[in-house]
Amino acid sequence: MTRFGIVSKPGAAEARGVVERLLDWLAAHGHAAVLEKETAGLVPAATVPSVGKAELPAQADLIVVLGGDGTLLSMARAVGDLGVPLLGVNLGGLGFLTATTLDEMFPALEAWLAGRMAIDERMMLRARVLRGGQAIGEYAALNDVVITKSAMSRIVNLSVSVEGQYATAYRADGLIISTPTGSTAYSLSAGGPILFPAMDAIVLTPICSHTLTNRPIVLPAGQRVEVTLLTDQEVMVTVDGQVGLNLREGDTVEVRQATARIRLVRFPQQGFFSVLRTKLKWGER
């Protein structure tokens, strides 16, 4: 018996109906289901067990993520180094990570059970916030770590070192440190390059740099990046756009490749360039 974890974006209008259909399909095919607690609130009549998001990966052989990329990013951080594969089913909107459509959900599950789905491994980042030499926060990121000013702040001054050696200083609205997976997210909007997602690399993309020659740079994944805030103003570090904390002058954000890798399930014919053509309308006039 295969155990399927199910997590849904609670605010999605059609989430309840999709969860109900998915539970019925799994029961009819003799498979077990475990609901994430908030998702279980959508279907109070369901008799399957529910657990917190942090506990779900240990209870499942495959996690079906219903929603958008934000829902999958949150689940990916919970999976961490457990290696449980994720199938992202898009409930609407632009989804690079949740590339499976709702109509494809059941065919995708059948194909996965038959061993006919491809699994992509994606690198993650590990970020530590250091204050006075002491770690005050530690995070994992699948997309990016972003250091950015608040809406009313002045330009931010940042000092960047790579592997302990001074690299450059930025006077900008902020800095995006992204994985190849995150290269099609905020980094792309800020003028960063698109990287093939299976690569191991780190991208530094300044946000509205005051110096026009400060261009995005791609580093080997094994390099340790340290970004120090040089100004006393309202600046925040955020991880995957979902969690983070406020920084103080002198704080350092240390970013390096995480040991964990995330496994994303997809149809074999649904390659990266197919997703780019669909999502970015490449090749259309």
Residues facing residue 99 across a β-bridge: none
Active-site annotation holds for 69:
yes
The Cβ-side half-sphere exposure at 200, using a 13 Å CA radius, reads 13
How far apart, in Å, are the Cα atoms of 39 and each of 34, 59, 198, 237, 239? Answer: 10, 15, 30, 28, 23
First to last CA, the chain: 48
Query: What are the chain's domains?
Result: 3-117+267-280 (3.40.50.10330), 124-261 (2.60.200.30)
Catalytic residue among 24, 61, 69, 200: 69
Neighbours of 259 (CB within 10 A): 11
pLDDT at 272: 85
pLDDT digits (tens, 9 = 90+) for 240-252: 999 999 999 999 9
pLDDT digits (tens, 9 = 90+) for 123-160: 999 999 999 989 999 999 999 999 998 877 788 999 99
pLDDT digits (tens, 9 = 90+) for 18-70: 999 999 999 999 999 999 999 999 999 999 999 999 999 999 999 999 999 99
Put simply, whether the predicted model's pTM sits higher than 0.95 gets the answer no
Q: Does residue 12 surpass a pLDDT of 80? A: no
pLDDT digits (tens, 9 = 90+) for 235-278: 999 999 999 999 999 999 999 999 999 999 999 988 788 888 87
Residues in contact with 136: Cβ distance below 8 Å, sequence separation at least 6, in sequence order: 129, 130, 245
Q: How many degrees, rounded to 5, is the angle at CA 92 between CA 103 and CA 242?
A: 130
Residues in contact with 37: Cβ distance below 8 Å, sequence separation at least 6, in sequence order: 50, 51, 52, 53
Which residue matches tokens 């240990």? 58
Distance CA 80, CA 211 (A): 37
pLDDT at 285: 64
The DSSP output letter for 100 is B
Pairing of the two strands 156-162 and 165-172: antiparallel
Q: Does residue 94 surpass a pLDDT of 70? A: no
pLDDT at 93: 67
Q: Taking each helix axis from N to C terminus, what angle separates 105-113 and 15-28, rounded to the nearest 10 degrees?
A: 30
